[in-house]
A and B are shown apart, each in its own frame.
Chain A
């Protein structure tokens, strides 16, 4: 799908550009295909594709989907440039704060891999059954 094809679905009413319903269906179809490709990465390791390549591809597809939803469904593409700037400034700032937070918690090793040292998971052991309390026996009659 080229941007020329997508732009063809923009019709001009009044003094604003309004995408047609068909245009949004096309965007939805592209997003669905990308999501299917993302989910298919579960099997990539079985096909011998290196994990690092899978991660990079996943992050790239995530970014494309994010931008498509923000630009078309949240119509930042058709809003004022100021709104787009504010949105992406906040996004970049949030990303930097997130990275700074992770760095402060020292979860990157020397090779820039993320390492979270969780406590080892131990399945909780149910308490042993207890004997029922002894039924007091009354005085002998």
Chain B
């Protein structure tokens, strides 16, 4: 849902003429949110891989550390979004 919303948002802005090089604000916006979208995508892939291993019964207690690291990565991406959401989207 997040990635779909971001694709829609970027597309709408580009149609309005707000490109990456339009001005400093658009450059900062696309860099911040774009990098975040990439990190979210990487996180989704990692979670799906972990889910695949779970469904095949190949993820046991011996893999707890790997699951832990994926969880930490995901929540770090989450915590970054908390800042981006406030700074970029909510504070006028």
Contact = CB atoms under 8 A, between A and B. Distances in A.
How many A residues are at the interface, by size bracket? 20 to 34
Contact of A66 (B17, B18, B83, B91): B83
Interface stretch (A2-10, A12-20, A36-44): A36-44
Nearest to B28: A116
Contact of B25 (A55, A58, A62, A116): A116
Nearest to A117: B24
B17 A58 contact: no
A119 interface: yes
Nearest to A66: B82
A51 B92 contact: yes
Interface string B73-92: 00110110011011100111
B22 A38 contact: no
A58 B83 CA distance: 10
A69 B82 contact: yes
Contacts of B24: 116, 118
User: Taking chain A's interface residues, is the majority helix, strand, or loop, or is none over half, making it mixed?
Assistant: helix
Contacts of B86: 38, 58-59, 61-62
Contacts of B18: 121
Contact of B91 (A58, A65, A70, A74): A58
A41 B79 contact: no
Contact of B83 (A41, A62, A123): A62
23 contacts: A38-B85, A38-B90, A39-B90, A42-B90, A62-B82, A62-B85, A62-B87, A69-B75, A69-B78, A69-B79, A70-B75, A73-B71, A73-B78, A74-B72, A74-B76, A74-B79, A116-B25, A118-B23, A118-B25, A121-B18, A121-B22, A123-B17, A124-B17
Given A38-B85, A73-B78, A74-B75, 9 more contacts: A51-B92, A58-B86, A58-B91, A59-B86, A70-B75, A70-B79, A74-B76, A121-B17, A121-B23
Interface of A: 38-39, 41-42, 51, 55, 58-59, 61-62, 65-66, 69-70, 73-74, 116, 118-119, 121, 123-124
Interface of B: 17-18, 22-25, 71-72, 75-76, 78-79, 82-83, 85-87, 90-92
